[in-house]
Amino acid sequence: MPDAPLRLAVLASGRGSNLQAIIDAITEGRLRAVLAVVISNKAEAPALERARTHGAPAVFLDPKATPGRDAYDAVILEHLRKHDVGLVALAGYMKIVSRVLIDAYANRIMNIHPSLLPAFPGLAAQQQALDWGAKMSGCTVHFVEEGVDTGPIIQQAAVPVLEGDTAASLEARILAQEHRIYPEAIQLFAEGCLTIEGRRVHIR
């Protein structure tokens, strides 16, 4: 009997276009996973609606109800365990993940960032690339550790920065690549193809 599909949780704070790319990959059979739960720190996040449309549990957890990063992540952890989650994908999740989650899900939390890390970590990465005068930028899928945008790199895609680009036009070019490589990276995890050795992620 084949192994059960990966049970995936997505944490998202906003628009959720990466979540949608993941949902589409599941629906089209490119990603062998079940969307076990989508959790947001924003009640109005369109990502929650996308989850509901797909028929996945969509949970808003109010940070004000559980002050403190560790306490909030402990509540998230309860939901992850309740839904028997095997991998957590951050997709536009605008909170820093604490040790509580990182220890419980060691090497099982991924993030996508809109730059070629280690260049331009943090907020407004596309604007940072423009301001720096970079000729290439792109996106990175990486495992999450305690630092912001610092974990071992799984997958990257590069795009050119073009004459006349604005942050919005560069964002759109990068986003198209995000939507391609994030489901791919999750599928590699689902197939058991990823091993971590120090900072390096080996893909079998």
Minimum distance from residue 149 beta carbon to ligand GRF (Å): 9
Q: Are 87 and 111 in contact (CB under 8 A)?
A: no
Minimum distance from residue 21 beta carbon to ligand GRF (Å): 8
For 76, residues 6+ apart whose C-beta sits below 8 A from its C-beta are 11, 39, 61, 101
Check 54, 79, 83, 113 and give the catalytic one. 113
113 is annotated as an active-site residue? yes
Question: How many DSSP H helices and E strands does the chain contain?
Answer: 6, 9
Closest to 152 (Cα-Cα) out of 165, 141, 166: 141
Q: Which is nearer to ligand GRF, 53 or 195 (CB)?
A: 53
Q: Which is nearer to ligand GRF, 82 or 124 (CB)?
A: 124
Minimum distance from residue 104 beta carbon to ligand GRF (Å): 22
d(CA 24, CA 4): 19
Residues forming contacts to ligand GRF in the complex (CB under 6 A) are 12, 14-18, 91-92, 112-114, 175, 178
Q: Which is nearer to ligand GRF, 15 or 180 (CB)?
A: 15
d(CA 133, CA 68): 38
Over its C-alpha atoms, the chain yields an Rg (Å, rounded) of 16
Residue 83 has φ and ψ, to the nearest 5°, of -95, 10
Tell me the residue number closest to ligand GRF, measured at CB: 92
Q: Which is nearer to ligand GRF, 114 or 183 (CB)?
A: 114
d(CA 6, CA 187): 9
Q: Which is nearer to ligand GRF, 109 or 175 (CB)?
A: 175
Minimum distance from residue 47 beta carbon to ligand GRF (Å): 6
Minimum distance from residue 116 beta carbon to ligand GRF (Å): 12
Angle of CA points 46, 49, 55, to nearest 5°: 150
| Residues with a known catalytic role | 113
